Structure 1
Amino acid sequence: MATPLSVNAFVKALKAEGLTVVEVGDWRTHNRNSKGPWGPVHGVMIHHTVTKGSAHTVDICRKGYSGLPGPLCHGVITKDGTVHLVGYGRANHAGSGDDDALRAVIGERALPVDNEANTDGNRYFYGFECENLGDGKDPWPAAQLLAIEKVAAAICREHGWNERSTIGHLEWQPGKVDPRGFTMASMRARIAKRLGAEPSGRTGPSGGTTYTVKKGDTLWSIARAHGTTVPALVDTNGLEDPGRLDVGQKLKLSGGTVSTYTVARGDTLWSIAASKLGDGNRWREIAALNKLADADAITSGQKLKLPKK
């Protein structure tokens, strides 16, 4: 849950991730805010357009069509990997979806099967339409898939979310099939990997051992993005006030673990955190430290790194 990024912070985050961004017309004030609220935001939603041709695709996503006024998303990702920004604020992209799916996104848990359409998704999600016919045959160029990965990672990074905050339209609204041609599980795996390292377009860690604090950072968001934990960051950097970070401050990222644990039958991350760390709510730290794409899918015999107690 978060307040939507300011329009300037939104653009800055995309460009910092190394994306090519095109600002289309009055996109900064083009929205559907008069029809309902925008925010709090909980995640990023990916769509395909069922259109062909970049110019046509961008135009229709900006203007909409009879019965569904634009903008139909915040950004259009064309086949060459360019991100065309067409609106900011409430957009007609998500429609009504499953409240159980929304709760899973908020909790960054595995998604349930979407079988209801009882919640307004236009309020809660950033939306990106991707140029593709959606027939399962139209190819997804590598540049376009990389741009989708970068877009989602950029927004997740700014909000301190992990990859589970990115979903496909097909995981939100019953009957939808988009995006078709790649799986959201594979895309989330890519996003998770990207969130494990500072983007190339931003000044930050050197050799993966230090991180430069930016506006909006918290120790939790930094720890999650870099596979470490809050206690490890506090100990490694000798922080007297963990709630205070200064923009430009350098943090060491090393020294995060002190032990390993072999998963036993019937274990969950919560039970491991409760028994080994004294606090079941620290299961998220274990998930982040081990870069687990699915926190519910640990197996007997698996070796897990544990954060400091």
Structure 2
Amino acid sequence: MEGNTHQLLEGALLLSLALNVDEVIIAVNERFRNAKMMLDKALNELKPFLESSGLLNRLPPITVSLVGSPYIVGEETALINSLEGNRGEPRLRPPDPTEAGLFGKPTAVINVEVVAAVPVLLSNYYEGKEITIEKYFCVTGDVDKPGLYRERLTVSLNELLAKAGAKEENVKAAFVGGVSSGLVHSSKIRVRLTPEETRKLGVFLGPGVIIALSNNRCIVDIMLEVERFFSHESCGRCEPCRLGTKELVEVLERISAGKASEEDLKWLSRWRGL
């Protein structure tokens, strides 16, 4: 949104034609006002070109809207509620957004990274070039060089962590796809970061967040912090999330303090697959 704004707008217009939509809305987290400023600036730069080429009235309008920053607004129906001015909480399904989304109209919710990739993929295809798929990975945690890495979807987890300065023998595990996805044990660290390969390990790439955990980390303490985060960020609509995360925090606190019972461990084992 900030580094290559016009490519994002080009992708949005191409997709709008392919999907035959009436309006394009770019939703920006309210904390990232600089991104909104860059998008508004790029739209003002684009308008004279569209007017002179006669395309302005043939393309759907693009608007940029700030939305609430709670974690749950990353879910597509919660995002739609936020855009409508309502509380950002997920909707019950069916219907899916493609049937009844923003203001009851069919809505396609697409990540900006995917949208921005469209012009490159089409250009490579029509120019007869090799079509390669790249993704941005945000690598953080116990690494020497945290940051954003753009890599092909053939890169392995250990290769990516090595680029970020983490030695394979010092890695206990890594979150792949963020903390909502799951952990990859060090014994599986050579997995290729493709949707197919990561899915076999029970995790998903999602936003491409990779969090490395060194051998010095206690997994119980890490998961306690994760559950505290989810308990705090729960929208409170569904009981398994509203109450379950609170109970998980309490059980993990007892384990961390060395006060857990066998019943606590059985309870965790019973609910681990949910």
TM-score, normalised to structure 2, is 0.30
Question: Greater relative contact order (Cα 8 A, min sep 6): structure 1 or 2?
Answer: 1
The structure whose residues are more often helix, as a share, is: 2
TM-score, normalised to structure 1, is 0.27
